[in-house]
Structure 1
Amino acid sequence: MATTSGVPAGPDLGAALMADDHAARALGITIEVSAPGAATARMSTSPEMGNGHGIVHGGYVFTLADTAFAFALNSHGLPGVSVHADIAFLLPARVGVELAAHATERVFDGRAGIYDVEVRDDDGALLAEVRIHGRIPSARTP
């Protein structure tokens, strides 16, 4: 269950964040922020994303997860960034499928948070699990 330590949700920065996120737009990533601290990013994969093994390069899978995280963290209305991430690739992502990354806030104290992201394919198979630590650089702790 996500906690926010009584920190009120601020204005959604989603539109502004996506407008300036050239990487996400170039990859055709779409975003849905379902609640403060939760977001889903979707991306269709193409042959250009394939690696030498004929599967989607892990960097694209991570980029999708990081994008979902960014929108979940920034849904609180303050600009934040990732400071640490760990990814476990569980199954290969096939070229030509749609991937979805769902970010869930585990804890957020107004300045820092921890988020879990699951990346699944269009059949619902769990491809990767990601844990990302984020920080709001402008936030000050009393």
Structure 2
Amino acid sequence: MKLSPEEVAKKSAETMWAKDSASKWLGMSLDTVGPGTATTSMAVEKHHTNGHDICHGGYIFTLADSAFAFACNSYNRLAVAQHNSITFIAPGKLGDRLTATCREIARYGRSGIYDVKVTNREGALVAEFRGVSRTIEGRHFDGEQL
């Protein structure tokens, strides 16, 4: 039975999430995934804050990078980051919930471009992230590939 693109994305994400100790250890959740898309979120806790008592930029980057990872791996092809950049717009505050929403901009050959918006609970923009992916040899599971 042939899997739909949504089923391939979900199965790829489930396989990755089972091994993603870093995202889970930081308190992230994988909220949605689809072909070329993913959403992750996390509550900003005290251990995420820096010397300004706001969310450390590295954790915001990691949240965005995780959404990017699930989006670019949603085709049952192993994909890694080739280049990432982030622009911080506003602070993530203690007690807030940050959400990283990733969407695919382009995919050609082995390369892909993905944009991630990180927002706070009110939907205000906290950061914008751009990720460039590169597919490598291998699949998340045997069978379907898009």
What TM-score does the superposition give when structure 2 sets the normalisation length? 0.85
Q: Secondary structure of 2:62's match? A: helix
* Equivalent residue number for residue 105 of structure 1: 104
Structure 1, unaligned runs of 5 or more: 1-7
| Residue correspondence of structure 1 range 36-75 to structure 2 within 5 A | 36-75=35-74
* Equivalent residue number for residue 133 of structure 1: 132
- Most deviating of 10-19 and 79-88: 10-19
CA-based RMSD of the aligned residues comes to: 1.6
Q: Secondary structure of 2:8's match? A: coil
- % same residue: 41
Q: Secondary structure of 1:129's match? A: strand
* Equivalent residue number for residue 78 of structure 1: 77
Distance apart, 1:137 and its partner CA: 1.4
Structure 2, unaligned runs of 5 or more: 139-146
| Higher helix fraction (1 or 2) | 2
4+ residue runs over 2 A deviation: 8-12, 32-35
Summarize deviations over 1:65-89 as a string: whole Å, max 9, x none.
Answer: 0000000001111111111011000
* Equivalent residue number for residue 11 of structure 1: 8
Q: Secondary structure of 2:92's match? A: coil
Q: Secondary structure of 1:14's match? A: helix
Number of aligned residue pairs: 132
Aligned partners of 1:33, 1:79: CA distance in 2, in Å? Answer: 19
What TM-score does the superposition give when structure 1 sets the normalisation length? 0.87
Aligned partners of 1:110, 1:24: CA distance in 2, in Å? Answer: 28
